[in-house]
Chains A and B, each alone.
Chain A
Amino acid sequence: MSDEDKDAPRTAAEASGSVFERGKSPQKRTGEPRTTGGTSSAKEIEGEVLAGGSMGADVPAKMRTARKIGRRKPLTETAAAAQEAMFTRPSDEDGTHAVPAEAFGLEHDPAQVDPREEKFAELQVSALFGLAALGVIGFVLGFVLMDFHRALGRDLNFVIGGSFTVSLLGLGAGLVLWAKKLLPHDKAVQERHDFHSPEEEELAAEDVFLKGATEMGLGSRKMLRRSLLGAAALLPIPAVLMLRDLGPLPGRSLRHTGWKPGIRLVDVETKLPIKLGDIEIGGIATVMPDGFDTTEHYALAPTILIRFAPGEIRSKKEASWGINDHVAYSKICSHAGCPISLYEQQTHHLLCPCHQSTFDMADDANVIFGPAARRLPQLAIEVDPEGYFVAQKGYTEPVGPSFWERG
């Protein structure tokens, strides 16, 4: 811009002349390094700093208190006055006011800085744009040159993802830097229009509604009105009726597991019966009743069969419900019903992966940690004449989490 421009009004707000005069401190756009124009005397500034009060726009940047992230500086007197004036004065055609940066206590127009600084800023911005271009080239090279099948999911992802990131970041950072260092910092404020409709439109809408109601005869045709109201009143019934599906009560189904006296324990995966001696000391197997299927009927049946070393079982009841150091317990956690088989063969802890309930399997599945409120139910087992494990009887208590009717 030429020197003649410097006093010409740049915005409507300026042209009308007012408080902005102070903000428009005489600055050279070119030539000498910028100086902070000031009308305040050193004494005034000192007084403001000591008082901790807000400082004028002309206070040198060095003397300003440091910004804290996330907290907006209180408006300076000048800026507050500028804002006040803005809303009391006639607006531009579209309701936009431009407020020069100085009025808000910001630094001077970056366009007025030292040309050497300006040149350096230009260099920085174009270097960032260059980086963005390099990122794109890297993306293309990586995509074309790397062996797609070998590098997919490994190096290729990092190369193309990384290069594209560099490219987008460079572009974005360059634009931000451009705006910060080279663009004027004026603020534009636009007033909102009224939210409610003009009165004539509201009246017109009312007319349309009343006209419709009259034409339909809502007032005179009583049968139509009543049958409409009646039909609408029945509408909620299906929604209420569907609540019935919350029932029926489970009855005895939650106590049924599919285990019966004499039924063989089979491996859940191979479906083969398990013989005494198949499980090593310290071993564990997930078993189901022989002939199980994947229906709801057997949903509560999963059971774990554990073999201890002789003498490791501390509970007499546990030992007597098992056979030859083998015991069987429900695999379904008594807390929330997760399947548990994180078994530690030395500590005999059984850990539920859902909420970390821990059961001591050498002490009748006693709960030693976590939210479970009950021991795991034990399945009494014995060995049939052919040497296979069978259930002595079904579970004697409901397995799995608590339910209302459990008692």
Chain B
Amino acid sequence: MPRQKSIRAPTTASLPNNLRIPSTTPSLVKALGKLPRQSLLDLVFQWLDDRNAKLFLPFLESDETESPDDEGLRPYPAERTLNDVRNAYQELQFRKGGKREVIDRILDGDWRHGITLRQLAMVDLRYLDDHTSSLRWTALELTRIGVSNSTHDNTSLTDISACMPRVHASTFLTTLQNLISPLVKAHFYLARSATLPLTFLRIFVTHSPYQNPRQAPEILTDSSRVMYVAFPDSCPFVYTSLASTTAGSKPASGSAAAVATDARSLQRIVRDAVPKALSLPHQRYTLKPTSLTAKSLQALLTLRGAGRMNKAAGAFSIFADAVIEGSPLDPRPSNTVAPEEHHKQSKRPSTSDLDPEKEKENENKPLDEEKDLDPSSSKMQLLRRRNPNLDLDPRAAKKRKLAVNARFGTSGTRLSSAPLDRLDVRLLDAPTPTPSMFSSDTDEEASGADGSRPSLSLTFSGTDVISGIRKLAELGIVDAQRMPTWMTGEDAVSVAVVKRGRAVRDSG
């Protein structure tokens, strides 16, 4: 392998795909170790595939003759041909064992000359495919700049189309690279998700202008320098992974002096460049926040995807799932047919077998704070007259169930899967005539001018907040008929500012 470390000049090109990270880097073991054995083997076979083998050339015997210094020291002798390498991994495939031996074989054996950036990116994306909830994602809406005003008068219908930029991968990446190259050195990897209708773009950022950075190789595997952008199919939205808020991006590399070189601001630069790279002449795009952040990509796809639930969540999810009426060819009156049949799903009604254990903390928390929740809504005066006893009358229970179904629709059940792991609500309404009555076991903050307008912030967290609230309503702890809309997930946001009982967009 010819090493051209001698030439080091700053360039504007992106980090090359074949930049090798020395296989002795300890963090590589960790990076590869995220994957289970089978996924690792799958990846290796992908690397050794005929079409890809040139890109991910393993270390062969022919390479060894050039550097015969460590003959016999290696636990894995170099194979003669590509097919031998394949056979070795086939053998591992059939044998049972830990993933450690696969990792060792990769790092000490067939890729002892280093793992390329592209291989690392593939490892990361494979992990992302296996664990779709491993990151926090924010949904952003792509909107065209300067169109909204002109559409009023002179728009022919042919012009009207949702802004869905058709991404031509290499053009997009080149433009993106041109935009950020003065500030950031990056490595791009674009791949299609295997499980979801998404295209992932993995961007690794560093601030060195050099093609072959002479930094510690740990930097190249630092996960805080990686950001993901996901392009869902056929809809004007873009998801970006949030920068991890942990201060884990240690000020290594010794250049902590410049503020703009920490991983987060590098990521911000890239994120700003994405809409510009998608833009065309006379067709400029910008990204608009949509107040939705969630861990589950499935939730984002449901609430901000190409599907039907974008603008019909909560009570209106019955329309999104089309569970109230059948097709016009169905002779049965719709009120005699169970919603599940309309949904054509074989699963049984799921409300009863929601595992309460899954709701880690918010299940109990709202139980304690329901006294706080209710006065916070705008219907305070009504609620204070509410009878707090839980009636065990079966008729009341049935009525309650109907009310819950009316308010939540199918959201929070198994029919629809949009688990929000966090819901932040800021209530701007004057909570109550006597603000002293609610205690402070939620993370609330009393702010506002001279105390006359306190605002209350509520944070729910758990595996699925909306279904947790639904559960509470089913138990009769939250009054299903009077609770405000934001509790049913109708607004499809994870951050909301509530005024007069309705969610308004955060202007700031």
A, B in one complex:
no
Q: Measuring CB to CB, which residues of chain B are less than 8 angstroms from any residue of chain A? A: none
Where the two chains meet, the residues of A that have a C-beta atom closer than 8 Å to any C-beta of B are none
